[in-house]
Chains A and B, each alone.
Chain A
Amino acid sequence: MESTTSIIPPEGMQLVYERPKALVDVHTHYCPGCTHGVAHRLLAEAIDELGVREKTILVAPVGCSVFAYAYFNTDGCEAAHGRAPAMATGIKRIDPSRVVVTYQGDGDLAAIGTAEIIHAAARGECITTLFINNAIYGMTGGQMAPTTLLGQKTKSSPMGRDAKIAGLPIRMSEVLATLPGSAYIVRRSLHDVNNIRKAKKAIVTALKAQINGLGFSMVELLSSCPTNWGIPADKALEWVEENMVPYYPLGDYKVIEAVKSL
């Protein structure tokens, strides 16, 4: 495994920005303009800030981020499709002092893995989930996800998602917030700098909730998939703001008192 870069600033200059220690210095396989990379960076910065890299264990999903474990300078493993919360449960129960994070797409978390995420949250499992909601199945080439918007065209809803056939898109943060075991459930977006900053703060809070043993924490991140949406990266970010944010309102869905006082 390659180590992180160590930039020596020229004389008279100060280093203000560098690769987080929790990220490995390799090229990722993500498409240009994909927000998976942004989400990785935010998680890595949060891990660095809290000084928990040495005890973090990342559970990667099946989806475009299948190789996430290879991009983080932490221990990591690969779950079966949708099963990351169960796998994370097994890891966490063996050593509760570890910081266990699952990173999951919308097919992974909101379709095939619905039972696992709901029960991990219901048990108040002290793990943190980063939920990448890009309203599509990226890895398999752009089929409809449970979060695909009404009317949205995908490879398996070529005429646009029709509620009569496929029902309505599912709002997972709202669902999980109803469970007593969840401590911190929020939705953020990665479509502009301001929202990215808010997302970072939320990830730090979610990890803190875990470290303090307060229960299940999840940050849902509205994300883009320019490749499978078939639009340029900048337009994809606009699409997130114009189409996804109205259906998936940003905000805090569950913040228990103990988390508020962190």
Chain B
Amino acid sequence: MAKEMLKGNNAIAEAAVRAGLEAYFGYPITPQTELLEYLSKRLVELNRVFLQAESEVAAINMVYGAACAGARVMTSSSSPGISLMQEGLSYIAGSELPVVIVDIMRGGPGLGNILPSQGDYFQVTRSAGHGDFHPIVLAPSSVQEAIDFTILAFELAEKYRHMVLLAADGQIGQMMEPAELPPMRPLMEKRPDWALTGAGDRPPNIISSIFLVAEEMENYNKMIQNKLKVIRANEQRWDEIYTEDIDLLVVGYGTAGRIALTAVEEAREEGMKVGLLRPQTLYPFPDDRISELADYVDSVLVVEMNAGQMLDDVRLAVGGQVPVSFFGRMGGVVPMPDEIYNAIKEAYTKTTAHKAA
């Protein structure tokens, strides 16, 4: 299929349809609304399920119900809406259901604004709901990646019976660029064995997250933790460029990672030995590779559109081997390549001066 000019939100929606999305439940909120609007037409035309819910609370619980019924199902929202969905996300985690949630992140806290932000890194990777779990979190940095990760999201969700969050900042949702959509995949042919389809010729299927006995609840937790361990071992994804023979490693994801690449290329033209690692999965975080790189770089610079959240993960991966510095803009401000270039130059100068001394 040929490339065409696509807007991020529409591209994600169409990619989901082609991944075999059977049902969508959502509530309008900028900057993700085009996704809902697109599906309100497309899914209905295809005779699939679209419903605009009365709130994000209702939307995620409709998703919860549809997933119990065994459907390939999705919702989308933006930061304040994801906050409302957290109760449902926790129940979904407690019931091992494969669902996909798209979060087109905007500036906060509070009502904030509708501009691109990465202020919800902690929310999506650490605190998507009460209890001990992490969603799988995918962070695209282009419209093409948003498409590819939408397909991947459904594959991972079903492979692990686990929720997958596609976390993109508002810029990815709103911008248009050339990208290629995959061919249409068929709908799921058969409902999973555990789905609620009616206890006809089998004993009843029950989906619940209650375990009143502490040991049983702990065992369920152990099962989730074991699953997360497998996910951490197998699903770390990242992109890296110019990472051979460098002194400074820049780490950034999504739009920040993309702008950082421009700055890194500029710095290399100036003769600085610097490279970029761009995490594509925020959970599981690509800490194995970052830890490896920390063995031979002299310092690390983290770039984000927040006050420094992934910074914690990078520090954990680096494990104190080399200094880690940070550059970030907040509240919907997208950093300019020059600002990141200056941060690179500062970190680089410090590093090389330190080395010379």
A83 pairs with B61, CB closer than 8 A: yes
Judged by a CB distance under 8 angstroms, whether B334 is at the interface is no
Judged by a CB distance under 8 angstroms, whether A87 is at the interface is yes
Judged by a CB distance under 8 angstroms, whether A8 is at the interface is no
Complex partner residue of B66 from A1, A67, A70, A93, CB under 8 angstroms:
A93
A selection of 26 A-B contacts at a CB cut-off of 8 Å is A1-B204, A55-B200, A57-B198, A59-B65, A69-B206, A74-B199, A75-B204, A75-B206, A76-B205, A77-B68, A77-B207, A78-B207, A78-B208, A78-B210, A80-B91, A83-B58, A87-B64, A90-B66, A90-B69, A91-B68, A93-B23, A94-B65, A94-B66, A94-B70, A115-B54, A119-B54
B199 pairs with A94, CB closer than 8 A: no
Judged by a CB distance under 8 angstroms, whether B231 is at the interface is no
* Residues of the A chain whose Cβ atoms lie less than 8 Å from the Cβ of B95: 77-78
* Residues of the A chain whose Cβ atoms lie less than 8 Å from the Cβ of B203: 1
B69 pairs with A95, CB closer than 8 A: yes
Interface of A is mostly: helix
Interface size class of A (residues with CB under 8 A): 35 or more
Minimum CB distance partner of A75 in chain B: B196
Residue interface mask A217-235, B partner, CB < 8 A = 1: 0000000000000000000
Binding site for B on A (CB under 8 A): 1, 53-57, 59-60, 66-67, 69-70, 72-80, 83, 86-95, 98, 115-116, 118-119
**CB under 8 Å from chain A, chain B span 175-221:** 196-200, 203-210
Size of interface on B: residues with Cβ below 8 Å to A:
40
* Residues of the B chain whose Cβ atoms lie less than 8 Å from the Cβ of A93: 23, 49, 51, 62, 66
Complex partner residue of A74 from B61, B62, B204, B207, CB under 8 angstroms:
B204
A105 to chain B, nearest CB (A): 16
Binding site for A on B (CB under 8 A): 22-23, 25, 49, 51, 53-55, 57-59, 61-71, 73, 87-88, 91, 95, 196-200, 203-210
B97 to chain A, nearest CB (A): 10
* Residues of the A chain whose Cβ atoms lie less than 8 Å from the Cβ of B65: 59, 77, 86-92, 94
* Residues of the B chain whose Cβ atoms lie less than 8 Å from the Cβ of A77: 65, 68, 95, 196, 206-208
A91 pairs with B199, CB closer than 8 A: no
A240 to chain B, nearest CB (A): 29
Minimum CB distance partner of B94 in chain A: A78
A186 to chain B, nearest CB (A): 24
* Residues of the B chain whose Cβ atoms lie less than 8 Å from the Cβ of A1: 203-204
